[in-house]
Structure 1
């Protein structure tokens, strides 16, 4: 069980949440919702023990498994399977078993006897942790998250960002922790893996708190909803499933609006009466009392929820360029003995729309990094055409300097703009006041997405490389990104699992990885998007 008492959470000087008390017991399936930037990720970090509240406290009655939006994968030289097994300490136990088993064949009697003792101790530890069945359980979880045996025996550094994210999810699910805190767990999952995850969470014996923009996941799993209202800095608790929550939330908003209107009308009447009475000296005290009643009437009432703002996203008017601003020929990439792709040719013509498809691990992100000049290919070359201006949106936000502020990141992307204009653009992406001085590293996934998109908007790019641009966005912000893709007049190379993003792009060509086959787009390719 996890219990929070009278929590107050701040981001710098900004109040995100106050006076929040709740618990997550075994069997609870909680959906944590609220608009981007409301503080959901910050709250989850505090619950996980990776952040400190401004006031109040959290009591954890057992182990907590935490999947952040931007997972840390630890030692990149570690094998993927060992990273998963480490959730129960099995990686070290199995390693000791292997070493002891080898030493048991040693010619020296003393070494052999010592190895037998070590093997017995390690085997007892393995049995206490679930035995070899636990290793099989980890493999099953990984397979259902599209991590086959081949991938599990690769070092983490050779995996794509999506694969590493799924390794972290597998590790957290395998941990068997009393409470799971999952921040956008469906990112980088294909359709089959999402269906499996829903079933896993439905039957999980421990408590779960999940942040997700996947309404299908919320509908099928949650039994309680915590709504973090950014305007009131309060956490509204609903002990009901997702569909009933939506109905109740609408009812609550209408009630608050009615109560506010009634209170304001009564307060206006009291103030008008007080103004009349102030004209008579004998009634001055009564007038003051009446005015105080009006103030108390308004101050004691829940404030009406302000309309949530949405970032206004429009990609830039592309700078002039030649007929073919970007060309790549004979690109290949390997990590050690693992060949990711080979012989990829691609010509990006002015205004063309290309979608890159392939199974997870086929090298889609790697290809975009090579086209962006961030990573080198093993063979071939990328040739910029006349007037090329590249804009690259990275799914893991590595284009952001996490040590520098929001404002400093924007100034780097738009050196031609003065600070006033930069602040105006940031304001349209919902960064205002002290927000612009926060280090990019403390932003939530949704806020990082907005900052990275803002940097694209001021770039004057004529070729956009977009890697999962709709991840971590609430529905309203996602709709803005799709509209921006739909109306952009430059060239786009898009990697996405989001069918809506491909529909908005209306691609003219498709590049299939790892084979590097290029073809004209046709609706038959649409079924591959969710598998991408």
Structure 2
């Protein structure tokens, strides 16, 4: 069933058209990615879909009572509540139902007219509410809250923290956590992977794969899209193009489609040129005029194809080194890193050789960025050693983009580092990084995150280092810029060491993965998928070893039990008798507890509470009941101890 349709939607600003003829169908359980270049209007289209903005043309059709959850880009949860209080708000209707059930229980317990129709109606209502409570996960919603919070790295010690005291990234994660708990029919997520580490991303992917509603996602995380979506809509100024499959399939299909369009365009152009040439040569000749006129009519009827735009104007850059380094670029021995003499990870051991591209992975807080800064001498190491090899010239890309001067213009930021280079050459290089015209006269502090990232890459490319250290280089880049960076890294004639949570980027460029943990480091000689495969194998081997040990223990226990059985059938007979007696005592205790509950409810009834004789009688019964329970419990404990001794 179709939940929502976008039909011929257009958005414009004044006379400028952002996009037109956008069409999109969302079915139940759809898994859709909306992609397109930066600035094309993906977030704008999402806001039109949720009804926040109106389209300039076209319409959005929704099914009746459709519930939509929307996570805007970098929008955090704002609340005066604690973390757990805010998550409980999702289940307020369920909590009210739970309260109503308890009220009915009290009413039922105090009613005397158990044979009346009114009492029966009360029981029927109670049964219905209990059924609804169970169907809506009334017994498990708190466990569900804990599970989702744990997935987003909020633990029990965090539950009572005020949301107002959290960081922006934590608030964004909480906003997504609350949306997941709400279980809307359609979940629309704009850049949901921002502020998530790899472990959290893996958890979110697994959760979304089993999400019961439909998903519409805008993301720069290509690995995430590959895991989640099974169809892609590309938004262009001319409209949307639909592709079945995940993101990687979309890239392949788009290349094939563009190739076919190029061939069709070239074929049509050849036909048009041939017809035009015939018309031009023969229109004025009396003997061939009719034929020329016929060809001209054919030309007029041709539906001319637009020339395919093979590649949008994107950044163009490359890294080239001035000179080679030695074969060994970096040696790290027993290195421990941290701050204020407190180690946060290590010992780290590895050797980096020329032309290798190594990705550093590990949980948040383990010190991956600290490791790069320690290598460069920006932070003192706690212990151990790290040394550059011969002729190594390192260049560093800082994820915080601090290696820029806010008050300088874009032009001077580069030109001041290369004062002998002609201005035209500087402008040309900046143009290849998408800084053209008056853009080069902007102050650095006016630039967006993506622009600052491209400027830092410009400076890095101009310095011609032979060893590049990147700290989250894809953070502020759109997909097209990421692809250009990937090609530049792969074509680089030097050595690369980088930290990234972009798993697609790691997969594409890394030849080796270095995992850092608080206690050690380990190298995996392959890309990210290879790393995951080996980690899975290690976990499986560890589980198999644990199972083997458990099986050996169980086998020994079984053999011992079998020998014991053979030695003494009388012991087994005694055990069976004790178990029967224990079961009987447990049944007796259950009945006594039920009787005590009934007596207590009767004592709480207003009619009895004001009758001293009645209360005295009930108290005597409760005292007798308590004495019987103690005797039964003592007998149960004695027989349980006897049974344990025979086990």
Answer yes or no: same fold by TM over 0.5: yes
The whole-number CA distance in structure 1 between the counterparts of 2:56 and 2:422 is 39
* Higher helix content, 1 or 2: 2
TM-score by length of 1: 0.60
Q: Deviations over 1:23-78 (max 9, x none)?
A: 435433212244x547364455544779968843665765441253xx24366999
User: What's the CA shift for 1:132?
Assistant: 9.0
Paired residue for 1:341, among 336, 339, 344? Answer: 344
The whole-number CA distance in structure 1 between the counterparts of 2:499 and 2:80 is 30
Corresponding residue for residue 425 of structure 1: 429
Corresponding residue for residue 234 of structure 2: 227
Q: Which one is further off, 348-357 or 132-141?
A: 348-357
Q: Deviations over 1:165-193 (max 9, x none)?
A: 65454344334344323345456453685
Is the 1:365–1:467 contact (alpha carbons within 8 Å) kept by the matching residues of 2?
yes
User: What's the CA shift for 1:18?
Assistant: 2.0
Corresponding residue for residue 9 of structure 2: 7
Corresponding residue for residue 412 of structure 1: 413
Q: Deviations over 1:339-366 (max 9, x none)?
A: 9938999999998988654323334346
Paired residue for 1:182, among 176, 189, 192? Answer: 189
**What SS does the aligned partner of 2:149 have?**
helix
The whole-number CA distance in structure 2 between the counterparts of 1:441 and 1:169 is 31
User: What's the CA shift for 1:221?
Assistant: 4.3
**What SS does the aligned partner of 1:200 have?**
helix
- Compared CA separation, residues 505 and 444, structure 1 to 2 (3 A): same
User: What's the CA shift for 1:5?
Assistant: 4.4
1:21 corresponds to 2:23: yes
Corresponding residue for residue 366 of structure 2: 362
Paired residue for 1:271, among 272, 276, 280? Answer: 276
Corresponding residue for residue 202 of structure 2: 194
The whole-number CA distance in structure 1 between the counterparts of 2:410 and 2:85 is 33
The whole-number CA distance in structure 2 between the counterparts of 1:497 and 1:24 is 28
User: What's the CA shift for 1:236?
Assistant: 1.3
The whole-number CA distance in structure 1 between the counterparts of 2:438 and 2:79 is 36
The whole-number CA distance in structure 1 between the counterparts of 2:424 and 2:525 is 45
- Compared CA separation, residues 20 and 223, structure 1 to 2 (3 A): same
Is the 1:213–1:475 contact (alpha carbons within 8 Å) kept by the matching residues of 2?
no
User: What's the CA shift for 1:17?
Assistant: 2.6
User: What's the CA shift for 1:195?
Assistant: 6.4
Q: Structure 2 matches for 1:35-434, cutoff 5 A?
A: 36-37=37-38, 39=40, 41-43=42-44, 46-47=47-48, 55-56=56-57, 59=60, 62-68=67-73, 71-73=74-76, 81=83, 85=87, 88=90, 134-150=141-157, 166-185=173-192, 188-190=196-198, 193-194=201-202, 197-198=205-206, 200-211=208-219, 213-214=221-222, 217-218=225-226, 221-229=228-236, 233-238=238-243, 240-242=244-246, 252-253=257-258, 255-276=260-281, 279=284, 294=299, 297=302, 299=304, 301-307=305-311, 311-315=315-319, 317=321, 332=338, 341=344, 356-365=360-369, 391-394=396-399, 408-409=409-410, 411-415=412-416, 416=418, 420-429=424-433
Q: Which one is further off, 16-25 or 340-349?
A: 340-349
Q: Deviations over 1:109-135 (max 9, x none)?
A: xxxxxxxxxxxxxxxxxx9x9989555
User: What's the CA shift for 1:277?
Assistant: 5.5
The whole-number CA distance in structure 2 between the counterparts of 1:20 and 1:364 is 42
- Compared CA separation, residues 82 and 504, structure 1 to 2 (3 A): same
User: What's the CA shift for 1:435?
Assistant: 8.0
**What SS does the aligned partner of 1:256 have?**
helix
Q: Deviations over 1:371-417 (max 9, x none)?
A: 9999x99x99xxxx9x99863341x768789x99xx95465355336
Is the 2:23–2:239 contact (alpha carbons within 8 Å) kept by the matching residues of 1?
no
Q: Deviations over 1:278-333 (max 9, x none)?
A: 6479999998997687367354x344342467744433647999x999x9x99645
Paired residue for 2:33, among 25, 31, 34? Answer: 31
- Compared CA separation, residues 433 and 283, structure 1 to 2 (3 A): farther
Q: Which one is further off, 271-280 or 245-254?
A: 245-254
Q: Structure 2 matches for 1:482-521, cutoff 5 A?
A: 483-484=488-489, 487=492, 489=494, 492=497, 494-496=499-501, 498=503, 501=506, 504=509, 512=516, 514=518, 521=523
Is the 2:317–2:484 contact (alpha carbons within 8 Å) kept by the matching residues of 1?
no
- Compared CA separation, residues 213 and 304, structure 1 to 2 (3 A): same
Is the 1:222–1:241 contact (alpha carbons within 8 Å) kept by the matching residues of 2?
yes
TM-score by length of 2: 0.52
Instruction: Choose 1 or 2 for highest CA Rg.
Output: 2
Is the 2:411–2:426 contact (alpha carbons within 8 Å) kept by the matching residues of 1?
yes
Is the 1:482–1:501 contact (alpha carbons within 8 Å) kept by the matching residues of 2?
no
Is the 1:178–1:206 contact (alpha carbons within 8 Å) kept by the matching residues of 2?
yes
User: What's the CA shift for 1:481?
Assistant: 2.6
The whole-number CA distance in structure 1 between the counterparts of 2:441 and 2:54 is 21
The whole-number CA distance in structure 2 between the counterparts of 1:144 and 1:304 is 44
**What SS does the aligned partner of 2:302 have?**
helix
The whole-number CA distance in structure 2 between the counterparts of 1:438 and 1:158 is 35
Corresponding residue for residue 641 of structure 2: none
The whole-number CA distance in structure 2 between the counterparts of 1:157 and 1:197 is 28
**What SS does the aligned partner of 1:203 have?**
coil
The whole-number CA distance in structure 1 between the counterparts of 2:224 and 2:142 is 30
Is the 1:15–1:233 contact (alpha carbons within 8 Å) kept by the matching residues of 2?
no
Q: Deviations over 1:207-258 (max 9, x none)?
A: 423445546744x6435431235xx7331135x4449877875775455345
